[in-house]
Structure 1
């Protein structure tokens, strides 16, 4: 999923109102932020195979250190502990956001998610085998996440309106590009775009969130 992960971050705002939306985004996408680094290092592998699923041309052939269930649980615990200074509730929400990434991926992917790094049992329920079903379910999740966030973090000024809706629009444009655009030219391109996108969306979300809501942010 792509905007599905953003949806979970947006929906988590009422649970951790003092945590910046930027940090919530980082948590929800953390596994996919680490993954490009390991791709570039040659530790994990992806192949470009148009038709591998109906929704994406990417075949995730080896990513046990980011996308196995055991790795996701470990990353979740480490992320929560790293931000324990924000309070137990905030740390718990952040840790669960990291773990939510694996759950959403398990729904979307074909069976390619190992339970642990050496596991031969692969999980994936194959939502990506149907483009209409993927767009319907992920779109509904995203709409719900946006609605929850807007309700609990109203804009305090014009920047809060423009920055937030600009972020939402850009996420949707990026999503449409993934669906309708050509396959990526190379694996390094996937990694570099993934890293740049992760930084961009996190900073943009942080900026928009500073101009929304009433609670003091950490």
Structure 2
């Protein structure tokens, strides 16, 4: 559930591109983090992300009636925007429509991005493993297999050819 919440707006974005509501453009270049230019006011604006986070929290609460869990789901979904604002160039809208764009531009530095995103990933894994316990060896192997898969996919996305 938390993984889905953390990726919610990135899961919405491709569907919105297919509908024509949002756009992405390839901008070839040597920096692997700056190869795509986005226009995503409905999935990635701060106001829209807040709405998606609230909807995710409400859905979780309706299913489980667990208020604290719903708050965590909502905060995790909202945290995606905050972390994107650190990484992205100034292309993160505050609200749909003509909006100021924010972004601290970590992606302009490949080395800085690898270090900061690596540390954020490690911190996320640490928080998750501190808060949960596998019920059996399958759970342990499953978690660490998933972590390894995420690392491999990240490396592939950074070192692979442009789209």
Scaled to the shorter chain, the TM-score interval is over 0.9
Give the paired residue count.
Answer: 161
Against the structure 1 CA distance between its residues 42 and 89, is the aligned structure 2 distance closer, same or farther, given a 3 Å change threshold? same
CA distance in 2, matches of 1:124, 1:140: 19
Moved more, 80-89 or 168-177: 80-89
Q: CA RMSD in A?
A: 1.5
Against the structure 1 CA distance between its residues 53 and 120, is the aligned structure 2 distance closer, same or farther, given a 3 Å change threshold? farther
TM-score, normalised relative to structure 2: 0.92
CA contact (8 A) 2:41 2:96 kept: yes
1:14-33 pair list within 5 angstroms:
23-33=1-11
CA contact (8 A) 2:29 2:35 kept: yes
Which of these residues, 38, 41, 46, is aligned with residue 24 of structure 2? 46
1:100-179 pair list within 5 angstroms:
100-179=79-158
Uncovered stretches (5+) of structure 2, i.e. residues with no partner: none
Deviation at 1:52, TM superposition (A): 8.4
Q: Report runs of 4+ in structure 1 exceeding 4 Å deviation.
A: none
CA contact (8 A) 1:54 1:130 kept: no
CA distance in 2, matches of 1:76, 1:129: 28
Which of these residues, 46, 50, 64, is aligned with residue 73 of structure 1? 50
Larger RCO (alpha carbons 8 Å, 6+ apart)? 1
CA distance in 2, matches of 1:75, 1:169: 29
Deviation at 1:149, TM superposition (A): 2.1
